[in-house]
Each structure stands twice: as structure tokens, then as C-alpha cells.
Amino acid sequence: MRGLIKVAAAAAAALTAPGEAWAFGRSRIWLPEGVSTIAPAVDHLFYLILWITGVAFVLVQVTLVWFLIRYRHRKGVPAGYTHGNNAAEIVWTIVPTIILVFIALRSQTVWSQMRGTPPPHDLEVEITAEQFAWNIRYAGPDGTLNTADDVTNINQLHLPAQKTVLIHLKSKDVIHSFFVPAFRFKQDAVPGVTGRLWINAVKPANLEIVCAELCGLGHYRMRGFLIVEPSAAFDAWMAAQITPPPAPTGQPS
């Protein structure tokens, strides 16, 4: 029966592990390329925590397995008798505390950079989420949002590269979440509240806006397109929106 268990366990491991390694290797599933100014700091923090937790993980699991082998039941070898060890307990209280405080301090630095006072912005955009679309609004020629000459668009967010953009995030109906993986950022669009976030995309890219908060049956298809283009190209696009070309193309205006 023991043999049977071992065979079953080995078969199970053999079935799933290589299959997953194959699937994983084939699909390069890892952090997507970062495109915002804050992405490198977030990635750095991610790898820092990955290293620290990775070392802790290996240490604990190896110790566990080692103890299971080293201290397995053997006839005539009694277990030790101890209720604890204050010195050891103090060490393994203080060491994790120091490491965790270090992680918290490093996180706080990045957090205040991301979510503290926003830097001066070059452009303002208002994004209003609804079931199941992103309504984009730019100030028109008068430079003020929510006036008659605003430029509006649905599910297509154009942003200039290397400019700080202030986004006013709203929702009409339920909670949505504005998530751009390449920006390493998400924020919920909460009805009744206008959220403020800023983004500075470092280079041109074609990206996706993901709705990351369950918002109803069409949640899965609440996708937006995000086109980061060189400043000049963005200005040309914006100019075209303000003065529509002579022959209307049916583009949303």
C-alpha cells in the first residue's frame, strides 16, 4: 500500500509539474514591460520583496523537510524535552520585525511618490466609467474641462509620451477599476467621488485599459485601448479631433 501511495504521488507530480513548466515556459508569463515613470520603482520593490520572501520561503521549507528527515521516528531514539527557548524566540521575533519595517519604509517612499502631491501636469483628462465602457473627455480649445468644446471619445485613450497627465476618474453607475498593467497602476472609479491620479508614460506604446473591479455581466469585456504616442503625433491627433476633417469619417467626436 505504501508503494501504491508513492507511485500515485510520483505519477501526480509527473503529470502536473512538467505540464505546467511547459505551459509557463511557452507563454512567458511574468511582469509585462513597464511603460510609466513609476513602473521601475514598483518593479524594484516587487523584486526586493520577491527576494526577501523567496529566501524566507526556501529557508523555512528546507528546514521543515530537513527536520522531517533528521528527526523521523526511530526505535529507541526518544524525542527531546523542551518547552521553548527564549533567546531563539526573541531572535525570530526581532529579525522578521526589522525586515518587515524595512519593506514598509521602502514601500512608503514609492507610495508617496505615486500617490502624494501630483507633479505639475501638462494635460488633464476626465475618464468616466460606466457599464461597460470608458468615456474619455479632453478639454477643447478653451483649455477647460466640461465645456461645450470638449473632445470626447469612447474606449480610446490617447496620451502623449513623456508628459504628466492628470486623470479625473469618475463612474456613472457601479465601481469600476482603471487598470493599466504596463503603468503598474490601478485605481477604482467610485460613483459619487472623483478620483485623481497622474500618469507619465515614458514611451509610445499600444496598451490596454483593464476593468479590474467586478462591474456586472459585461465586466470581462470592459476593455479600453490606450495609445501612447509621441507628443507631436498626439498634438496632431488632438487637432484633428478639434477640427474634424472636411469629409466626416464617422469617427466619434
Question: Could you say which residues in the range 139-168 bind another protein, by CB under 8 A?
Answer: none
Binding another protein (rule: CB under 8 A), the pick from 218, 230, 244, 252 is 218
DSSP code string of 106-153 = HHHHHHHHHHSSPPP-SEEEEEEEETTEEEEEE--TT--SSSTT-EEE
- Residue 251 as a binder of another protein (CB under 8 A): the answer is no
Q: Which stretch binds another protein (CB under 8 A): 49-57, 149-157, 228-236, 238-246?
A: 49-57
**How far is Cα 62 from Cα 69, in angstroms, rounded to an integer?**
11
**How far is Cα 181 from Cα 194, in angstroms, rounded to an integer?**
22
Binding another protein (rule: CB under 8 A), the pick from 217, 232, 248, 250 is 217
Site for another protein in 93-132 (CB under 8 A): 93, 96-97, 100-101, 103-104, 107-108, 110-112, 114-116, 130-131
- Residue 74 as a binder of another protein (CB under 8 A): the answer is yes
Q: In angstroms, give the least distance from the CB of 240 to another protein.
A: 25
How far out from the chain centre does Cα 229 lie? 22
Q: Which stretch binds another protein (CB under 8 A): 24-32, 145-153, 158-166, 234-242?
A: 24-32
Cell of 189: 472609479
Binding another protein (rule: CB under 8 A), the pick from 35, 37, 40, 49 is 49
Please give the backbone phi and psi of residue 61, each rounded to the nearest 5 degrees, phi first: -65, -40
- Its sign, for the CA torsion 169, 171, 174, 178, is negative
Binding another protein (rule: CB under 8 A), the pick from 51, 61, 149, 239 is 61
